[in-house]
Amino acid sequence: MFCTGFGLVALFWTVDDWRADDLGATALALSLTVMMTIVAAGMFERAGFHRFGLHPRIRQCRDDVHGPGIEIPYVRILPVQLSVVFSCITVSGAFMIRASNRPDGAMLLARHELPYSGSFIAWTTCATVVVGALPFLIHPRGSTRLHADGIRRRTTWLVRRGVSDVFVRWDEIQEVASDVYTVSGRAASTHNPLIRLDVPGYEPTPPRVAHDKPDSFTVPAYVLVSEPNTLLGLVDRLHRCPDDRHLITTPEAPELLRPPPVRERLRIARKIPRQQWEW
């Protein structure tokens, strides 16, 4: 609520500064507006208000070796959100540095100053492009595929050579369990859902996914477009019930990953003791 309210206030500042012909203050206020809007959207997502239905990118796939199955791609929106936030921070920082060198009450960048501010605009643009490109270089790409004979995870990176392509058969999995990847911060900690598969004899090979361990294969549910608990339930079902594995070979297979309505999920969550929450 705070981020949403601050974003509305910053939007008011943007309109006010635009009318005053202060392009610098307009850019600063607009950056704060966009940044707070994305931060608020991210907080709503972390609170569970996301993935209301079946994601359109979840589709049936076909493999020459393993046959038909379900493909669950990595999310695309996360690096875009981070790129926009980092770019807004860069623009805001540049104008704040400029403000520290301006007389009190002076405009940050008036319209008549544009022809004389080429160097500042060029350096700010270059820094924004470089910083905004970082999330796309770091964020992994790929997908997880569910087949009747096993699960396949394929991951690529722009800054790392090689491709991580691992296939694990259902009969090799000893246990399916939920896990979290915790990112700690000063204000709060973020718990990112993982699906950990205990596979005796499994040994990660380079290039390896960060969460993999010896005898433990990981599905990074927090970077997939599917709803984490629904995906966990399907993976566990395919592992425990061999007779149900043919279901993912049908054209209607993606419907198996359609999450229950939000009201139903909230009702179930209220019945689960806090210490027993999966994610």
The pLDDT score that the predictor gives to residue 8 is 47
Q: Residue 59: enclosing H or E segment and its boundaries? A: strand 59-63
Segment 211-222 mean pLDDT: 90
| b/e 39-69 (16+ beta carbons within 10 angstroms → b) | bbbbeeeeeeeebeebbebbeebeeeebebb
Q: Are strands 189-198 and 175-184 parallel, antiparallel or unpaired?
A: antiparallel
Separation between Cα atoms, residue 220 and residue 211, nearest integer Å: 8
pTM of the model: 0.74
Instruction: Give the range with max mean pLDDT: 6-15, 22-31, 67-76, 267-276.
Output: 67-76
Mean of the per-residue pLDDT values of the chain: 79
Separation between Cα atoms, residue 218 and residue 208, nearest integer Å: 11
Q: In the 8-state DSSP scheme, what is residue 107?
A: -
Cα R_g (the chain), whole angstroms: 24
The pLDDT score that the predictor gives to residue 210 is 80
Lowest mean pLDDT segment, chosen from 65-79, 150-164, 215-229? 150-164
pLDDT band, residue 254 (cuts 50/70/90): very high
Segment 162-187 mean pLDDT: 85
In the chain, what are the domain boundaries? 2-46+79-138, 59-74+141-276
Q: Which residue has the higher pLDDT, 98 or 239?
A: 239
Segment 155-166 mean pLDDT: 82
Tell me if 229 sits within 8 A of 278, measured CB to CB.
yes
